[in-house]
Amino acid sequence: MPTATPAVDVQKALAKAARAVVGNAFALEIVGVFDVYQGKGLPEGTKSLASSLVFRAADRTLTDDEVNAVFTRTQESILADRQIAVRT
């Protein structure tokens, strides 16, 4: 993404997309940006952000399948809307 794009904007876009996908099934508790990279391997004027999402259900332990499905649909939603570029 362009270096001028604030990490908080990416964080907000991820949170919005994930909450839309999750609905009322369980909660998106945290969206965080844990790494920013600029330099070799990226086009000039761009950066890469790594993010984490934490999901929680108050009444049960979430399964890998549940979380992976939400994560995949969140990525698809972001890519379809072209809000931010996503690579896994």
Max CA distance (Å), the chain = 47
Tell me the pTM.
0.79
- Decide if pLDDT at 71 tops 80: yes
CATH superfamily label, 7-81: Ferrodoxin-fold anticodon-binding domain (3.30.70.380)
Nearest 5°: the CA angle 82, 86, 88 is 155
Q: Using the structure block, give the residue that is written with the tokens 């508790």.
A: 29
pLDDT in tens, 3-59: 999 999 989 999 999 999 999 999 999 999 999 999 999 999 999 999 999 999 999
pLDDT of residue 84: 60
Amino acid sitting at position 85: A
Burial (CB count <10 Å: 0-12, 13-18, 19+), residue 18: buried
Token code pair at residue 78: 């972001």
Domain boundaries, the chain: 7-81
